[in-house]
Structure 1
Amino acid sequence: MKVSWVTDESRVPSTVDYGTTPGKYDSSATGEHTSYHYFFYSSSKIHHVTIGPLHPATTYYYRCGGSGPEFNFRTPPASFPIEFAVAGDLGQTGWTTTTLEHINATDYDVLLLPGDLSYADTQQPLWDSFGRLVEPYASRRPWMVTQGNHEQETFPFIYPDGFKSYNSRWPMPYQQSGSVSNLYYSFDVVGTHVIMLGSYADFSTDSAQYKWLANDLYKIDRSRTPWVVVIIHAPWYNSNMAHQGEGES
């Protein structure tokens, strides 16, 4: 499990203490930290720490940076059944709150978020407020995300590639699936292979994403993973006029 958090204090270490008993941390892991600039905005210190190996269907109690409040999360089970929650285009409105409360009322195992997280759209403080908004939920279960159009935040000549905030704040385990980009990856949980595609990364037949996807699909063993789930924000080929004329989709 990767634990990510943001601190204003630069001297906070990128460490997570954890254990299976409240207030008792018999394991610790150290990770990395980053920060970024976007025009006149400078982010605080963004920590990313991977902890484990962890036992399935187990509640772990943890604290970040050597002090502070205690959080807890439950790992997914080792066998069926498993329950996924799927919600995209979250944003930061009253509807966001009721949606998250509705999801939280279930006993789901993994949340899949197919893009459009904070709706910051270059207004970087909205990334910080989104983090505070989802913390009570994202700290309790694994959240696996892919990007949407509102994560692009491109600007000609200055930020032509986009996704600076998204990649800094929401790194996914793309390397483990052989991907070369945080914008698309896959992972296994119980008997399910989940593919998170990138609507806004090149998907032409000679692109890295296309070749990665072909190889990823080829390696699936349906006897071990009978379920294959594909998540994408805007379909590569679609008649949705709201997404026509975009750089990729």
Structure 2
Amino acid sequence: MAVMVEEIVKVAKRAGEAMLEFYNDDVEVMQKDDDSPLTKADLAAHHIIVEALAEIDPDTPVISEESGIPEYEDRKNWESFWIVDPLDGTKEFIKKNGEFTVNIALIDQGTPVLGVVYVPDKQTTYYATKEEGAFKQLADEKPERIYSKLSDGKSELTAVQSRSHGSNSLIKELEEKGLTVTKTVPAGSSIKFCLVAEGEADIYPRMGPTMEWDVAAGDCVYRYSAREGAHPSPLTYNKPDLKNTGFLIGVEGDFKF
């Protein structure tokens, strides 16, 4: 696994470098069938990652946001698969605020066991494996182990929330659930998971739906930022439609939106 995660980090960085070739130009925005934005950077990163995974791990299927969803009948018995969001945070990419990522995760028996989140504009990598834990790497410096603590929900909390979708109603709903949020940290893409994983925020609440490729790599980094074992996570994988409902990570208890 150690060799594989190093290979996947290299792939994520290559995809990120390809994105940046488009970043400083006027971004041409296309619309997908669901009206979400798509750029040439998304597609360039997609091709790099999918082709690399086919060489590194040819026997394991790949789901990428940009390649469509295989029929559930074809994948319901998959024991493992890669799930990829080549450019998570396309809106942030278009806004040029730097908060977009490359997300690559390996799911095994319904659980993320390897995850890489690369932030191209910051040359920052977060990655984790089930066996080795979670790490942060700045550029080509030595990776450092990162840790987070699961909150009991009784103290004052710092919540990370979407820079594009943050709202006061989220904080009010958390208060109704008995949680006290005294500070919020806005962030884009799967960086939100990573801020919790490295202890910069206590919780990440998400009211709206997401797709599995949006969350898998970040969820992996968060889970294995525990000092022992893994943090619990409400997120599950290989659902028939690959969609998640709202979730809350970073606190004990089963909270639903």
- The verdict on a shared fold, with TM-score over 0.5 as the criterion, is no
TM-score for both structures, normalised by structure 2: 0.28
Write 1 or 2 for the structure with the bigger share of helix: 2
What's the TM-score once normalised by structure 1's chain length? 0.29
- Higher RCO, Cα 8 Å, sep 6+: 2
Structure 1 or 2, whichever has the larger Rg, is 1
